[in-house]
Amino acid sequence: MSSVPEVSSEERELYQGVSDTPTSYVRVGGAVHPPLDFAAYKSTALRHPKQPLVFLPQSVTEVTGPQLGGERVGAGDSDLTAQHGGEPIGERITVSGRVLDTEGKPLRGVLVEVWQANAAGRYRHLWDRWSAELDPNFSGAGRCMTDDEGRYSFTTVKPGPYPWGNHYNAWRPAHIHFSLLGRAFAQRLVTQMYFPGDPLFEFDPIFNSVRDANVRERLISRFSIERSAPNWALAYEFDICLRGPGATPFEEAYG
Amino acid sequence: MGFALTPSQTVGPFFAIGLPWEQGRFAVVEGTPGAIRVGGVVYDGAGEPVPDAMIETWQADPEGRFADVYGFGGRSELVGFRGFARFAAEDGDGSWEVVTVKPGAVAGVGGVVQAPHVDVSVFARGMLDRCVTRIYFADEPEANATDPVLSRIPEHRRQTLIAEPTEQGYRFDIHLQGPDETVFFDL
């Protein structure tokens, strides 16, 4: 195995991690993520870098990540319908799925944070000017940690679509925002989950900023009659896939 | 290859209903000896402050060790060190600030030493994916001069990654676009 370079014992100790901890992550580039400069979404105009991105070698800073679970997630944080005295208005649903990496490996202990509008399409945020009513029984934020199989689950109400100022008659399709810390700085992902068959898809520049139609489909949850609970809630499934180990982890770590 | 990566979408304008928490902007527990404040202003391409940006930082402790999930690279022994901070304001004015300690040097790819640095993610409405940058420190000129990442950057742009000392810590402005555009990385 001539490809294994010599390393000093000091370096070896420094890089000694748990065996399943990747020392690099696949670089995916523009084929999957939307471009930062996307004219149809007007707010990108002054908020995207114009200089080319500089290649960052993945060092220990990039392949490590924080552990926030215990501090950030409390009992009941995954049920957005039970955070107040009464039931929120709207269609009760469950949203669940698995967090995997690109090798198909379930990622346990990943912090999943969600936030969303209420059933009428209104966010409980100072800056949301949409005239729809706030719901006193709905804050619209939840958190959980993935279990040993990489599973997460939320109970909530289906968010409503809402108008926004991007262009004439602009409406966002119903969506739930997801934030995943991953297990490394390199795995961080913020995205949005949509609902199947939304008539607003073709008009939404944010959804369509993902240029490949097949890739875009990954943002749409699946309705599941099997997971729906009789006389209780409809179920949607949404699996999330984060970057997995890079092709040549050892070489990249040791040069 | 097998499983299909989930694409990024913008964090939007309303993340503050879900992502901030009281201790979020503290990468160390309050009262940690040597704690500093690191922050600045986020600017857009018109030179206007960006009031709805979220900043996250990730870094080593002063010994160059991380508070990561698996102790990769040697676990930090600094009590109360989280290494991660998130600044997310509901009614922001473009400024951001986190409370942390100055990191030590850490190993780079190929056994080279990296100068003290902090990894930064910038999220905002109008940003369809995060932008990644790094904070380096102006009072580390020797370490910066040999840093393997800084050396990849054209000399006239390196200054955008150098935080300047202040009374309480360091100032680091972020320019998403424009003549002083911050260097962002392809990670």
How does pLDDT run across A211-248, given as a tens digit for each residue? 999 999 999 999 999 999 999 999 999 999 999 988 65
Is residue A171 one of the residues assigned to a domain?
yes
Based on the structure, what is the number of domains in chain B?
1
Is residue A204 one of the residues assigned to a domain?
yes
Q: What CATH number did the domain enclosing B139 receive?
A: 2.60.130.10
**Contact check, Cβ <8 Å, B186/A56:** yes
Is residue B70 one of the residues assigned to a domain?
yes
Residues of A in contact with B52 (CB under 8 A): 127
pLDDT of residue B161: 98
Is residue B18 one of the residues assigned to a domain?
no
Q: Provide the domain limits for residue B154.
A: 34-44+51-175
For residue range A64-100, list pLDDT tens digits in order. Answer: 999 887 789 998 999 999 999 999 999 999 999 999 9
Closest CA to A176 of A71, A109, A90: A90
- Give dist(CA A185, CA A63) in Å, integer: 6
Based on the structure, what is the number of domains in chain A?
1
E strand segments, chain A: 54-55, 92-101, 111-116, 141-145, 151-157, 162-164, 170-172, 175-180, 189-194, 222-229, 233-237, 240-242
Q: What CATH number did the domain enclosing A48 receive?
A: 2.60.130.10
Q: Provide the domain limits for residue A73.
A: 9-254
CA angle A200–A112–B22, rounded 5-degree value? 110
Is residue B186 one of the residues assigned to a domain?
no
Is residue B182 one of the residues assigned to a domain?
no
A37 min Cα distance to partner chain B (Å): 8
Query: Is the C-alpha dihedral spanning A33, A151, B124, B14 positive or negative?
Result: positive
Is residue A2 one of the residues assigned to a domain?
no
Which entry of A151, A177, A216, A218 is annotated as an active-site residue?
A: A177
- Give dist(CA A238, CA A153) in Å, integer: 10
Q: Is A30 on the interface with B (CB under 8 A)?
A: no
Residues of A in contact with B134 (CB under 8 A): 56
pLDDT of residue A22: 82
Q: Which of A71, A128, A218 sits opposite B14 (nearest CB)?
A: A128
Is residue A1 one of the residues assigned to a domain?
no
Global model pTM greater than 0.90: yes
A177 tagged catalytic: yes
* pLDDT profile of chain B (187 residues), mean per 10: 85 97 94 96 98 98 89 84 96 97 93 95 98 98 97 96 98 98 97
Token pair, residue A73, equals 């997630």
Is residue B23 one of the residues assigned to a domain?
no
DSSP structural state of residue B98: E
The residue in chain B having the minimum alpha-carbon distance to the alpha carbon of residue A206 is: B9
Residues of A in contact with B11 (CB under 8 A): 177, 179, 190
- Give dist(CA A238, CA A160) in Å, integer: 18
B161 min Cα distance to partner chain A (Å): 12
- pLDDT value at A15 more than 80: no
B50 min Cα distance to partner chain A (Å): 9
